[in-house]
Amino acid sequence: MRELKYREAIDEATRQAMAKDERVFVLGVGVDDAKGIFGTTRGATLEFGPNRVFDTPLSEAALTGVAIGAALRGLHPLLVHARNDFLMLTMDQLVNNAAKWRYMSGGSMRVPLTIRAIIGRGWGQAAQHSQSLQAMFAHVPGLHVVMPATPADAKGLLLTALTTEAPVICLEHRWLYEKTGPVAEEAYYTPLGHAAVVRQGTHVTVAAMSLMVLEALQAAESLAAESIAVEVIDLRTARPLDSETVCASVAKTGRLVIADTGWRSYGVSAELAARVGRECFGDLRAPVERVALPDVPTPCTSALERAYYPGAAEIGAAIRATLLVRGRAPAAPSVEARGKEFSGPF
Amino acid sequence: MPPLAPERLKGFYVQMTRIRRAEEAIVARYPEQEIRCPTHLSIGQEAVAVGVCQALSEQDVVLSGHRCHAHYLAKGGSLRRMFAELYGKATGCCGGKGGSMHLASPETGMLGASAIVAGTVPIAVGAALAAALRGSDDVSVAFFGDAGIEQGVTHESLAFAALRRLPVVFVCENNLYATLTPLSKRQVSADVSPRAVAHGLPGVSVDGNDVLAVYEAAAHAVARARAGDGPTFIEAKTYRWREHVGPNFDVELGYRTQAELDAWMARDPLLRHARILETSGVLTAAERLALDREVEAEVADAVRFAKASPFPEPAALYADVD
Ligand SMILES: Cc1ncc(C[n+]2csc(CCOP(=O)(O)OP(=O)(O)O)c2C)c(N)n1
């Protein structure tokens, strides 16, 4: 199959959705400029022009409400943010309006609204440009949160979002943008709430999302040399959360490591651990381990950034902990060390 | 306004030169990949920070945004600690944990910067509220860009400051662009200050490349604030020479023309002030060169200090969280 970069897959999904459905339009800070959100809105700008792709003032709170209004009147806005940190300015509209309009109206109205936002990381972007805030949104009934790890899912999940009659937040990790993978040419729709088993194994299950899926696969690869067979599950969506697929795997392995791009406490990993503890208590043969960000803001300096972000090595150590295997954690290089280090553009 | 003493006028030049040379050092050093954080340079906009901060006293406070080097330096922040911060070192003004977009130096009245556009505008109002409630005559300043005026929180802040007649000066650095988007694509009017008037506070526009004009407007606003007459809004029209973030020029992106950039570079705020000083006999060309050399030595020392400083210990990751 043809290969595309993650960012190209987003661009293609946007154009295909717009071609199929004239209700879809794109707005956000910088969407129609020469850089086009790292290329993801450039194609739509060139193909559909200023009526359907346009820049906005830096008024994120208002524009979110504006998008809700347009959604209530028959359109499907795709609102784009260069960082998910900026969504904090829009929380009132997201949480108090978008998430509940359908419910509060007794089901008489719906809010078909798709929001894309990027998770930044690295090169000292620091505390306000690198957060991974999926848990904030996933907490809210009425919102959907998708976190594609592959180019194929970046396309399939965005296309699904753009045909869903409800608010969907797509969180894209900046470090995935240049990764390539097979992507079908035609439009296809990856269902929300369906995790994917991306590597089969029998000893330990690792359930991961977004960039952590790549780290988990790396950890699994290096442990395979020691005959530890790791099953890796890509959760793909944080809400709805497919604990069923995870439990089916845990029934086989008895051990679970959850790898989240967000903070450890109160996050998606906590929700998944609670569900697994409830739904397949009898299958667990070790405590559930979590690999996530420590509960501190992102430091700027590279000296502390390295300690802040867990990667394949930490996932490997967590896998060993569930197996009670003694010995040093495998020195698997993290995604950062393997690729050229991220240094912008931001 | 009484004429400024020659030493003050020279001081303006030195302050602007310090900012310019510091940021030129960032330009020169950035490719070494030791300054590992996004940097938004103020080259071309120095007169705004200096003109405003020269109208402030040491106890007065300022807040800023992502483009904060100039404000930090103009408010007396240590050059050494700024470079150490950019290099991610433990000796940095934020211990390496804040970086370029979050410079702070509370001991000189720079209370910090947010990388969320307009995020600190209400914080400056809060600092002014504290001054009013405590009965001190400190003034606070909010620095923000032309996109800052697009955030609702800015309008709410203006209205509240006017309502309570708080001692705050809002300084909008209108450099005509937000990232790659011109002001005309984001706002119906190119004049920002009338919007403050609608909220009940005086709004003035000044040539932001003329440090004396900025100083005069700021001194007037600060005097008003100190006298209990409330807030003022100053729009300083200026121009960013380099790319939005990073050390390079960016005309090839097509959102602005070389001719436009050239025209603004010809209005270099440093050269303009230097020429005035020269014609009025305050500073000869030779004296100016000597001052430049002094500032360059200071910047070189700061870079050396930063490079020689240690990185923070790993335990710093968990310090100062809650
Ligand atoms: C709320 C918010 N939205 C978007 C951004 C991304 N961003 C950073 S700076 C910037 C442009 C800001 O323009 P302006 O306020 O005029 O300041 P300038 O960069 O020109 O100094 C944008 C869009 C941000 N930091 N915060």
The side-by-side arrangement of strands in the sheet containing B110-113 is B110-113, B61-64, B140-145, B168-174, B232-237, B203-207
Answer for the pair B241, B230: CB distance below 8 angstroms, yes or no: no
Using the mean position of ligand 1's atoms as its centre, give its distance from the Cα of residue A30 in Å. Answer: 10
Per-window interface: A 48-87 vs B, CB < 8 A: 55-62, 85-86
Instruction: Say how many residues make up chain B.
Output: 322
CA distance B61 to B167: 11
CA distance B320 to B137: 31
Residue A340 has pLDDT above 80, yes or no: no
CA distance B144 to B158: 13
Q: Tell me whether A179 touches chain B (CB under 8 Å).
A: no
pLDDT tens-digit map of A229-239: 999 999 999 99
Tell me if B147 CB under 6 Å of ligand 1: yes
**Interface pTM (ipTM) of the complex?**
0.96
Position A175 scores a pLDDT of 98
Q: Tell me whether B102 touches chain A (CB under 8 Å).
A: yes
Q: What are phi and psi of A293, to 5 degrees?
A: -70, 140
> What topology is assigned to A3-182 in CATH?
Rossmann fold (3.40.50)
Q: CATH no. for residue B71?
A: 3.40.50.970
Give the residue extent of every domain in chain A: 3-182, 196-326
Inside any domain, residue B161: yes
Sequence-distant (≥ 6) Cβ neighbours of residue B293 within 8 angstroms: none
Which residues share a beta bridge with A113?
A167
Tell me if A58 CB under 6 Å of ligand 1: yes
| Amino acid sitting at position B238 | T
Tell me if A89 CB under 6 Å of ligand 1: yes
List chain B residues with CB under 8 Å of A125: 37-38
Distance from CA of A124 to the nearest CA of B (A): 4
Q: How far apart are the first and last CA of chain B?
A: 47
| Pairing relationship of beta strands A237-239 and A144-146 according to DSSP bridges | antiparallel
Q: In 10 A of CB A346, how many CB atoms?
A: 20
Would you say the pTM of this structure is higher than 0.90?
Answer: yes
* Residue of B39, B48, B173, B179 with the most ligand 1 atoms within 8 Å of its CB, for mutation: B179
Inside any domain, residue B318: no
Which residues share a beta bridge with A78?
A26, A114
Burial label, A329 (beta-carbon count in 10 A; 0-12, 13-18, 19+): middle
Q: Tell me whether B121 touches chain A (CB under 8 Å).
A: no
Sequence-distant (≥ 6) Cβ neighbours of residue B98 within 8 angstroms: A126, A127, A300, B85, B92, B104, B112
Position A336 scores a pLDDT of 62
Instruction: Compare CB distances from A343 to B33, B96, B152 and report the shortest one's residue.
Output: B33
Position A324 scores a pLDDT of 84
Position A327 scores a pLDDT of 46
Answer for the pair A77, A62: CB distance below 8 angstroms, yes or no: no
Inside any domain, residue B319: no
Using the mean position of ligand 1's atoms as its centre, give its distance from the Cα of residue A267 in Å. Answer: 29
Interval A124-141 mean pLDDT = 98
Answer for the pair B93, B77: CB distance below 8 angstroms, yes or no: yes
Inside any domain, residue B321: no
pLDDT tens-digit map of A81-107: 999 999 999 999 999 999 999 999 999
Interval B302-306 mean pLDDT = 98
Position B2 scores a pLDDT of 77
Distance from CA of B203 to the nearest CA of A (A): 21
CA distance A268 to A247: 15
Inside any domain, residue B316: no
Interval B255-275 mean pLDDT = 98
List chain A residues with CB under 8 Å of B38: 123-125, 129, 344, 346
- Topology alike, domains A3-182 and A196-326: yes
The percent of residues in chain B predicted with pLDDT above 90, rounded, is 98
Q: Which of B30, B32, B97 should one mutate to test binding to chain A, selecting the residue with the greatest count of A CBs within 10 A?
A: B97
Tell me if B177 CB under 6 Å of ligand 1: yes
- Domain A196-326 annotated CATH 3.40.50.1970: no
Per-window interface: B 18-47 vs A, CB < 8 A: 33, 36-38
Q: What are phi and psi of A229, to 5 degrees?
A: -100, 110
Q: Which residue has the tokens 């340079």?
A: B41
Query: How many domains would you assign to chain B?
Result: 1
Interval B204-214 mean pLDDT = 98
CA distance B53 to B68: 13
Instruction: Compare CB distances from A124 to B88, B148, B254 and report the shortest one's residue.
Output: B88
What rounded mean pLDDT belongs to chain A?
A: 96
Instruction: Please name the helix (run of DSSP H) or strand (run of DSSP E) that holds residue A315, with its range, or none.
Output: helix A312-323
| Pairing relationship of beta strands A256-263 and A204-208 according to DSSP bridges | parallel
Number of residue pairs across A and B with CB atoms under 8 Å? 131
Interval B217-221 mean pLDDT = 98
Q: Which two three-digit tokens encode residue A268? A: 């998606």
pLDDT tens-digit map of A182-215: 999 999 999 999 999 999 999 999 999 999 999 9
B98–A89 C-beta distance less than 8 A: no
Residue B242 has pLDDT above 80, yes or no: yes
The boundaries of the domain holding residue B59 are: 6-241+251-310
The percent of residues in chain A predicted with pLDDT above 90, rounded, is 93
Instruction: Compare CB distances from A123 to B38, B316, B318 and report the shortest one's residue.
Output: B38
Q: Tell me whether A299 touches chain B (CB under 8 Å).
A: yes
Which residues share a beta bridge with B177?
B182
Q: Whose CA is nearest to atom 8 of ligand 1?
A: B117
Alpha helical stretches, state H, B104-249: 121-134, 152-163, 194-198, 211-226
Tell me if B66 CB under 6 Å of ligand 1: yes
Instruction: Please name the helix (run of DSSP H) or strand (run of DSSP E) that holds residue A271, with its range, or none.
Output: helix A268-279
A33–B245 C-beta distance less than 8 A: no
pLDDT tens-digit map of A160-181: 999 999 999 999 999 999 999 9
Instruction: Say how many residues make up chain A.
Output: 346
- What residue ranges in chain B does DSSP mark as E strands? 61-64, 110-113, 140-145, 168-174, 177-178, 181-182, 203-207, 232-237
| Amino acid sitting at position B158 | L
Burial label, A3 (beta-carbon count in 10 A; 0-12, 13-18, 19+): exposed
Measured torsion, CA atoms of residues B281, B287, B288, B294, in degrees rounded to the nearest 10: -150
- Catalytically annotated residues of A: 129
Inside any domain, residue B320: no
Q: Whose CA is nearest to atom 11 of ligand 1?
A: B178
Instruction: Compare CB distances from A300 to B37, B152, B255 and report the shortest one's residue.
Output: B37
Tell me if B117 CB under 6 Å of ligand 1: yes
| Amino acid sitting at position A20 | K
The percent of residues in chain B predicted with pLDDT above 70, rounded, is 100
List chain A residues with CB under 8 Å of B68: none
B97–A300 C-beta distance less than 8 A: yes
pLDDT tens-digit map of A278-335: 999 999 999 999 999 999 999 999 999 999 999 999 999 999 999 985 444 445 566 6
Which residues share a beta bridge with A180?
A5
Tell me if B39 CB under 6 Å of ligand 1: no
CA distance A276 to A269: 10
Inside any domain, residue B315: no
Position B1 scores a pLDDT of 74
CA distance B217 to B200: 18
Position A103 scores a pLDDT of 98
Per-window interface: B 127-166 vs A, CB < 8 A: 147-148, 150-152
A35–B180 C-beta distance less than 8 A: yes
Q: Which two three-digit tokens encode residue B265? A: 């570079």
Q: Is A253 helix (H, G, I), strand (E, B) or coil?
A: helix
Inside any domain, residue B58: yes
What rounded mean pLDDT belongs to chain B?
A: 97
